[in-house]
Structure 1
Amino acid sequence: MSRKKGVVYDGEENEEGILEIPPAESLPISTTVSTAPATDLKAIKRCIPAFAVAFSGGFLVSVLDPFQTQLIIAFDLCDCSTNISEILVDNSCYTCRSGETLVAVINLLLFVGAILGCQLTRIFSEYGRVVLLKLIAGFIIPGSLLSALAPTGLTGGWVQIAVGRFVAGIGMGCVCVGCPMYIGEMSPNSIRGKLQTISWVMQSSGSWFAVTLGLAVQNPPGSSDYNFAWFTQNWWRFVVFLPVVISLIALIMLSDVSETPYILLKRGSREAAIAACEDIHVEEDVEKEFEAVVHSVEISRNKKKPLELMRKNREYVHTLLVGACLGFLQNLSGARSLLTSSSRIIVQAGFSARSANFLTFALLGVNVLATVAATFIMDSWGRRKVLIISFTGQALTAIIGAVPFYVSPDADNAVTTVVSLFAFLATYAFGVREREERSDENVNVFT
């Protein structure tokens, strides 16, 4: 068996060279462990870096939404000679279809990066859960820097923003899997669900806070009396830069955090894994939780490949297809796009530019509240019932908002459309909350 440099192996190898982990009953569990309140406080402290990167991931989703017009002007994304829908201000293009399309593509690249990030998480997590969080910050920091420092005086300066969004998107994709995985393995059973919930709420709060900062601009997207003030033109750079600061704080905090018991035991460092369990759990739970970690490691080493499971186990195929289709349909609904371009949509519905940003602020606030409400309802109602309500609500609210406005796009129907957007996003948030079980047994199924 090949051993990693710098890792202490406490297990013994059998004749085949496979590391054998002693059963939990034979392990010398120390009696010096923390009380429940102290353990909970330690768990919260350990999870703060995960909350920080989760906040940054949510922040990235909506950070450009309030600044679409500023980007169009700053990077001269309009061609007045070829676009008949231009609005000119001081002989400069203010808004145009080509510019709006280009900003939408830049936002799209964030999600393209997120898809790649979700896939890379399987590889990154093998190096450790703490390492995974550091890598998330390692993608968000350069991605945000590239976007914030994009030069406006050069032709194609918008390309740097696009590349930055893609790189940061990889980190955002890792957040969706990495944060629940880390929290699930670093928290005691008594508050594991609460900490997982906080992580999801932090993502929603990040999107909300990004739009809140956008309210500081003098003239939101769609304004016909755009003011070329320096603050209005450059405020977006500070806001886009903010995830860099948050991620650096997370990296500093992670420097004092040890690996999870699951990773330590998987590496063969038995004593370190025991010590980590004692630090995480109260005395009466240490032995039981360590047994669960041993069981998880054994399963991961004997786990069959996904294609082999699909060939031999039809129930596995059914479960995999249902989960994949539900996730695909949830995101196909357009809720994620609504988070990145809600201000523009509300303006197109007939509201003033100033009202659009405040309505977007309220819209994302509803998203946070619905996420919190789902945490109290899902366990009592069951995930199946909540998902049915969520999908049904999304379908009905989309029809209620789209049909009247399509038939007669007047002010009254504009109100109906925006109200339906609120209900749509609330029902979406109601059904997307992640599972709270131990992540090494449930989330990372392909390792």
Structure 2
Amino acid sequence: MQASTYVVKGNLGFEVQNRKGALAGLGGFRNSSPVLFSNLSFVNSNNEKGSSSKVRCGSASVGIGFAKMGIDRVFKSSASSAKYRSVKAQASSGDLEDAVPIKYQGKSSSSVLPYVAVACLGAILFGYHLGVVNGALEYLSADLGIAGNAVLQGWVVSILLAGATVGSFTGGSLADMFGRTKTFQLDAIPLAIGAYLCATAQSVQTMMIGRLLCGIGIGISSALVPLYISEISPTEIRGALGSVNQLFICVGILVALLVGLPLAGNPLWWRTMFGIAIVPSVLLALGMAMCPESPRWLFQQGKIAETEKSIAALFGKERVPEVMNDLRAAVQGSSEPEAGWLDLFSSRYRKVVSVGAALFLFQQLAGINAVVYYSTSVFRSAGITSDVAASALVGASNVLGTAVASSLMDRQGRKSLLTISFSGMAASMLLLSLSFTWEILAPYSGTLAVLGTVLYVL
């Protein structure tokens, strides 16, 4: 007799409860009590049609006669730590055909964290370039001769966002054309050149060109970082890593504000602040040279051998068949045609697009950019001597608020958090405005300004 062993869960006249391995029912024994088991296996004699097979449950075995069966799911036994996934196999003449291999654990989920950390350099640069002008604006304005020109100062600040708009529209297309890692390396070019031009600028025109290039760079990274992280993350930690991009943007803002602390003693320090951004830009390019390409992108390009190599580097060789099956299922399951830009305004998508666009719009109109760019100036006008330090406190609060929101998102729900967040922002802005307009609060304007801003970013 030639025996074959399979690990199964599902529709064989009984049901198996997840995790606890309980046999809930067997064939017609509907009222039978659950039987705990381990190392569940089928032993198939591979004899003539209608042969008998046994289900072994530890020391007990139950004989089941069958000629044709449907097996809906494969699950992990107590000897394996891999998770089960849905499959279907048909058995005729007493045999199981095309049994699906059991999932193996492979590498630890944390094995992708170094690659995620490299990608997050793009998010840090995004936040850094947003916040670096906060403390440096007054000093660079004096150095470049635009101290009294609010319009040019505004252009120096806002041209970054103009470049980011261009970059965000092109980032996805570049990633699809060249791949994720190569696009990261290309993105490092405008980021590094822009930072160098800002650090060495002798005129406001050079400064604006540098800021524009930096904006294009951070715009590309804003589309690329979350895309790459989601495509290389194992499913078991993909949700946790989903908020990493926003968290590291806030970390970048905080670093920019902390780097501005020496400005009071060294007015030319602003050049060093912009020049520091060259370092992570170079590290991003070098780091991506050692990071595996996205398996999903490689699979879409038909590069099967390279896809398997990337999967092995990310998750371990044991999980290559499993992830390849997932990629094939994803491609086969995406039968719905892609929506174009004009389709976003159709009745099918109108409600979702309107809600999403309104959230982003009101978030920006709520004034977060004014806080990121001008909090130092606001605190200075409120009479706070350590204005840059106060801005650093705001940056730390921003990181803290993001971390707390990320941890509460799945437990409290998105809608309730948004309602509380926008209400708190409105109350904080009201407190900040009253501290400057009510004479009775004038003696406390500095403290209230910092308090209102900290509560706002939280």
Say if 1:31 and 1:283, in contact at 8 Å, map to a contact too.
Answer: no
Taking a change above 3 Å as real, the CA distance of residues 304 and 286 of structure 1, as seen in their structure-2 partners, is: same
Alignment RMSD = 2.9
- Aligned residue for 2:277, secondary structure, equals helix
CA drift at 1:373: 0.9
TM-score, normalization: structure 1? 0.74
Moved more, 240-249 or 299-308: 299-308
Change (3 A) 1:311 1:212: closer
Tell me the residue number matched to 1:256: 290
Q: Which residue is 1:40 aligned to?
A: 110
Shift of 1:370: 0.8
CA shift in 2, pair 1:299/1:319, >3 Å:
farther
- Rounded to whole Å, the distance in 2 between the matches of 1:178 and 1:149 is 28
What residue identity is the alignment partner of 2:170?
L
State which structure, 1 or 2, has the greater radius of gyration over its C-alpha atoms. Answer: 2
* 1:269 aligned residue (295, 299, 303): 303
- CA separation in 2, counterparts of 1:258 and 1:417? 47
- The code of the aligned residue for 2:403 comes to V
Give the match for residue 210 of structure 1. Answer: 256
What are the equivalent positions in structure 2 for 1:245-324 lying under 5 Å apart? 245-281=279-315, 287=321, 289-297=323-331, 303-307=337-341, 309-310=343-344, 314-324=347-357
Question: Secondary structure of the equivalent of 2:136?
Answer: helix
**What secondary structure sits across from 2:263 in the alignment?**
coil
> Could you report, residue by residue, the CA deviation over 1:164-204 in whole angstroms, capped at 9, with x for unpaired residues?
11110111122222111001111212232333433322221
8 Å CA contact retained: 1:49, 1:251: no
For the structure 1 residues 197 and 107, does the alpha-carbon distance in structure 2 shift closer, same or farther, using more than 3 Å as the test?
same
Contact kept in structure 1, 2:126 and 2:249, CA below 8 Å: yes
- In the alignment, which of 364, 388, 396 is matched to residue 331 of structure 1? 364
Asked if structure 1 preserves the Cα contact closer than 8 Å seen for 2:292 and 2:313, the reply is: no
Note if contact 2:292-2:314 (Cα within 8 Å) is conserved in structure 1. no
Q: For 1:394-415, what per-residue CA distance to the aligned partner results, in whole angstroms no more than 9, with x for missing partners?
A: 1121122213432326132342
Maintained 8 Å contact 1:24/1:287: no
* TM-score, normalised via structure 2 length: 0.72
Deviation at 1:288, TM superposition (A): 5.2
- The question of 1:135 aligning with 2:166 is answered no
Question: Counterpart in 2 of 1:379?
Answer: 410
- 2:257 matched to 1:240? no
Amino acid at match of 1:216: P
Q: Which has the higher helix share?
A: 1
* Aligned counterpart in structure 1 of residue 448 of structure 2, from 385, 397, 416: 416
Structure with the higher fraction of residues in strand conformation: 2
Q: CA deviation at 1:424?
A: 0.8
Distance 1:298 1:347 in 2: 59
Where do 5+ consecutive residues of structure 1 fail to align?
1-22, 79-95, 152-156, 220-231, 427-447
User: Which residue is equivalent to 1:225?
Assistant: none
Which of 153, 166, 191 in structure 2 is aligned with 1:116?
166
Give the number of the structure with larger relative contact order, counting CA–CA contacts within 8 Å between residues 6 or more apart. Answer: 1
Cα shift at 1:290:
3.4
CA distance in 2, matches of 1:187, 1:368: 23
TM-aligned CA distance change 1:276 to 1:415, over 3 Å = same
Pick which of 295-304 and 127-136 moved more.
Answer: 295-304
CA distance in structure 1 between the partners assigned to 2:382 and 2:367 by the alignment: 17
Give CA deviations for 1:13-46 in whole Å, capped at 9, x if unaligned.
xxxxxxxxxx999999999977343x522x0122
- Number of the residue aligned with 2:237: 191
- The percent identity for this pair of structures is 22
Is the Cα contact below 8 Å between 1:129 and 1:182 reproduced in 2? Answer: yes
